[in-house]
Amino acid sequence: MSQHAPNAADPDLQADCGNCFGLCCVALPFARSTDFAANKAAGTPCGNLRQDFGCGIHERLRDSGYNGCTVFDCFGAGQKVSQVTFAGRSWREEPASARTMYEVFPVMRHLHELLRYTAEAMDLPAARPVRRALRRAHDRIDAMTRDTAESLLAVDTTALRGEVNVLLLRASELARAEVPGRKKDHRGADLMGKRMRNAKLRGAGMRGACLIAADLSGADLRGADLIGADLRDTNLCGADLTGALFLTQPQLNAARGDSATRIPAALQRPGHWAA
C-alpha cells in the first residue's frame, strides 16, 4: 500500500532514465516512418543506445528523425521494472532475464499510467464521492507494481483499465458538472484535421477523441476531459488548457503549441513548441 498521499506529480510516476536499463529503447518495436528513422524489432536494442543505457542522440532526437521517442513517456515504469522487479540487475548482466523484463515493461507502463490517472482524480475536490473507491483502486494497483515478474505478466490490463475507467469517468463527470454552461460532448469523436479555432470547449468531454492535426488554436479547453485524446500534431497555439482533466506530458509533447498556450501547472511546456 502507498505510504504517502497519491499525487499525479509524484516523482515515482515520472520517467527517471538514469535508473532504467533503457527499456523503452530495447523492449518496444518501432517502424521506419515520420516518427522513427529506422526499423527496430521488439527486444532489439536501438542503435543509438549507449553502454550506460543512455541515448547517444538524446539532444537531437527530432533532428535525427526520432520524433516518436520525444513523445513517449513510461510514467516511471522503466525504473520500477529495473530497480524493483529485477532488483537492479540489467538484461546485459543477466541475459536470461531479458525476455521476461521486456514483457513486463509494457504491463508496468499500463499500471503506472493508471496510478497517475487515479492520483489526479483523487486530487479533484469535486471527486469526493468516489475518492475512497479511487484510493482503493490506486493502492491495489500500486501493490501490483511491486509484485513478482510472473504475477505482473498475469495481470489482465484490459479488464483492469475497464474497472478503473468507471471511477475516472465518474470523477470527470463530477468535476465537469461544476463548470458553468452547457458542455459539449466529443467523446471518441473523429475530429482529425478539423478546424476548431477559438472553439468553446470548456468542460467538454474529449475522452478518446481523434484530434490529429486538428486546429484548436485559441480554443478554450479549461476543465475539458482529455484522457486518451490523440493530440498528434494538434495545433494548440494560444489555447487554454488550464485545469484540463487527465492531460499527460506525452499528449502535450505530440502537439504543437506556443508561448501563449496555457497548460496545467504540473506539466512542462515542450521544448519544440514555438516561442
168-213 per-position pLDDT tens digit:
999 999 999 999 999 999 999 999 999 999 999 999 999 999 999 9
The arithmetic mean of pLDDT across residues 66-79, rounded, is 94
For residue 219, give the C-alpha cell. Answer: 480554443
> Which of 57-61, 62-66, 132-136 has the highest mean predicted lDDT (pLDDT)?
132-136
pLDDT given for residue 175 in this prediction: 97
- Name residue, grid cell 492520483: 119
Rounded to the nearest angstrom, the gap between the alpha carbon of residue 168 and the centroid of all alpha carbons in its chain is 15
Query: For the chain, first and last CA: distance in Å?
Result: 43
Residues facing 215 on adjacent strands:
195, 235
pLDDT given for residue 10 in this prediction: 85
Q: How confident is the model at residue 2 (pLDDT cuts 50, 70, 90)?
A: very low
Distance of alpha carbon 123 from alpha carbon 34, whole angstroms: 37
CA dihedral 148, 153, 155, 156 (to 10 degrees): 180
Average pLDDT of the chain to the nearest whole number: 95
**CB neighbours of residue 218 within 10 Å:** 17
**Domain at 181-275: CATH code:** 2.160.20.80
244-270 per-position pLDDT tens digit:
999 999 999 999 999 999 999 989 999
Helix (H) or strand (E) holding 113: helix 98-123
DSSP 183: P
Tell whether the torsion through CA atoms of 201, 69, 123 and 115 is positive or negative: positive
Distance of alpha carbon 15 from alpha carbon 72, whole angstroms: 10
89-98 per-position pLDDT tens digit:
999 999 999 9
Q: How confident is the model at residue 5 (pLDDT cuts 50, 70, 90)?
A: low
pLDDT given for residue 233 in this prediction: 96
Residue 267's identity, in one-letter code, is L
% residues pLDDT > 70 (the chain): 97
The arithmetic mean of pLDDT across residues 83-94, rounded, is 97
DSSP, residue by residue, 50-87: -TTS-BTTGGGTTTTT-HHHHT---TTHHHHIIIIITT
| Domain extent listing, the chain | 11-175, 181-275
Q: How confident is the model at residue 275 (pLDDT cuts 50, 70, 90)?
A: confident
Q: How confident is the model at residue 77 (pLDDT cuts 50, 70, 90)?
A: very high
105-162 per-position pLDDT tens digit:
999 999 999 999 999 999 999 999 999 999 999 999 999 999 999 999 999 999 999 9
Residue 215's identity, in one-letter code, is D
